[in-house]
Amino acid sequence: MLNKFFHSLTSSVRLLLLKESMSTVTNISRQVQSLTERSFGYNHLG
């Protein structure tokens, strides 16, 4: 599960950079939730 979150996190940051969007926690969490179909919040960040 942790591996899936980490992979989704890195993919989300790359996609946001390609779109020239800000890499905010809100934007990243939306993307990760979409990719993993699970909730992702501040408590998941180290």
* Domain residue limits, the chain: 2-44
Q: What pLDDT, on the 0 to 100 scale, is given for residue 41?
A: 79
User: In the chain, pLDDT over 70 holds for what percent of residues?
Assistant: 98
Cα-Cα-Cα-Cα dihedral sign, residues 11, 12, 16, 17: negative
Tokens of 33: 């939730």
Mean residue pLDDT of the chain comes to 84
Q: What pLDDT, on the 0 to 100 scale, is given for residue 22?
A: 87
pTM, two decimals, is 0.66
| Average confidence (pLDDT) over 4-32 | 86
Identify which of 1, 7, 9, 3 has the alpha carbon closest to the alpha carbon of residue 41.
Answer: 9
